[in-house]
Structure 1
Amino acid sequence: MARPRKFDEQQVLHSATETFWTSGFAATSLDDLMRATGLGKGSLYGAFGDKQALFQRVLDGHCANVTAGLRKRLSGPDSSAATRLRALFDVAVAAGAPPGPQRACLLAKSTAELAATNAEVAVRAQQTFTTFAGLLRAEVENAQAAGDIPGDRDPQRMAHHLLTVLRGMEALAEAGMDESVLRDAADTALASVGLNQT
């Protein structure tokens, strides 16, 4: 009979997430993970598998969380869809405002580091970005239904454009670009789909 675990799995995953997020996959050693989680090698491997398996759990959890956050942010009545889209871009602009840029999204960081050589990471990134695009498309369609975005615009193409700008703004914010650059990008993206800032 297996002995019950004597650690909080969610806390261990949180500590591992912070470690991978700070250092990246390649630069994070098993010793780093042991120090961060307080677990020995046997406990880590027994509970989560090897470093790659633990990282995949971390990335999957992060992707689920950010997807749930975006879904919640974009939920509500059609009459408020335009406001929600504007607010989404306002948050992206605020990421570059003082006291300074925020660290890159773990998904973006992991995709840049690993997607070209790790099929599991590439698939997870593609799935997550496809979901993001679907949520944006639904919101564009909601805004079209409310008369806030012209109905003759292709919602799929607009969603892809908005997603690309949002992810680009995140990279610019991490690089410390001036907030005015991000505001210009946000305003231009919204105007391009027929939404002007109010």
Structure 2
Amino acid sequence: MARPRKFLESDVVSSAGEVFAVHGLAAATLDDLVRATGLGKQSLYNAFGGKRELFLRALSEDREEATRAVSEALGHDDASPLERIRGHMLLLAIEFSGSDRRVSLTTRALVESTGEQDPLSTVTRAGIEQLAEVYAGCLEHARENGDLPDDANVQSLAMYFVAVTRGMELLGRAGVGRGVLTAVALDSLRALDGERMADAGDHPPA
């Protein structure tokens, strides 16, 4: 009869995720993971299959958490969709310029992804697309409200905000300050202003 495991997999994945967030997949060592999780190397292999598999497990957890956070930030009905996006971007400028400049696993994986059809690239792409869906839902709401033109490319704009936010995260990790990140956040919103201006230009007042 096999002995029951004396650890929670969720705790191990969380601790390993912190290691990967700091070092990335390539640079993190098994010794780093052993120290963080408290498990021996053989136990890690037995439970998760290896370092790469553990990273993919942590990445999946990070993806769900990131999607949930953005959904909550953009899901408040007490402000217009564009106001929600603006508030969200400004809060990210504060968060990414904080003393803990560790990047998320999704962004780590995006940097380390080869673009080939391997599990890392597949999971990373799924995370990016999942985030884009959340932005797209808010932008679609803005279009329904008349805040964006009917022909606005909601999917392209959604991916644009994913790209801007991931870039802001990396800039914060490099030590870029809050003032610059705030300017980036505000300037990114000009894409939405441009959509509205273009729509007004196509329909000049009589």
* In structure 2, C-alpha distance between the alignment counterparts of 1:150 and 1:79, rounded to whole Å: 19
Name the counterpart of 1:88: 88
Does 2:37 align with 1:7?
Answer: no
* In structure 1, C-alpha distance between the alignment counterparts of 2:47 and 2:100, rounded to whole Å: 35
Question: Is the CA contact (8 Å cut-off) linking 1:79 and 1:146 kept in structure 2?
Answer: no
Name the counterpart of 1:186: 185
TM-score by length of 2: 0.82
**Structure 1's 31 and 180: CA in aligned 2 closer, same or farther, altered over 3 A?**
closer
**Structure 1's 178 and 30: CA in aligned 2 closer, same or farther, altered over 3 A?**
closer
* In structure 1, C-alpha distance between the alignment counterparts of 2:177 and 2:52, rounded to whole Å: 36
For structure 1, the residue ranges without an aligned partner over 5 or more in a row are none
Secondary structure of the structure 1 residue equivalent to 2:158: helix
Aligned length, in residue pairs = 194
**Structure 1's 144 and 81: CA in aligned 2 closer, same or farther, altered over 3 A?**
same
Name the counterpart of 1:133: 132
Q: Deviations over 1:125-181 (max 9, x none)?
A: 111111111211110111122233343422222222222222222222222223332
For structure 2, the residue ranges without an aligned partner over 5 or more in a row are 195-206
Matches within 5 A, 1:55-134: 55-77=55-77, 80-97=80-97, 100=99, 102-116=101-115, 119-134=118-133
* In structure 2, C-alpha distance between the alignment counterparts of 1:63 and 1:182, rounded to whole Å: 23
Q: Deviations over 1:50-99 (max 9, x none)?
A: 222111111111112111221222224395322211111112221354x5
Amino acid at match of 1:21: A
Q: Which moved more, 1:177-186 or 1:131-140?
A: 177-186
TM-score by length of 1: 0.85
* In structure 2, C-alpha distance between the alignment counterparts of 1:20 and 1:94, rounded to whole Å: 23
**Structure 1's 171 and 41: CA in aligned 2 closer, same or farther, altered over 3 A?**
closer
Amino acid at match of 1:191: R
Amino acid at match of 2:26: A
Name the counterpart of 1:52: 52
How much does 1:5 deviate?
0.9
Name the counterpart of 2:156: 157
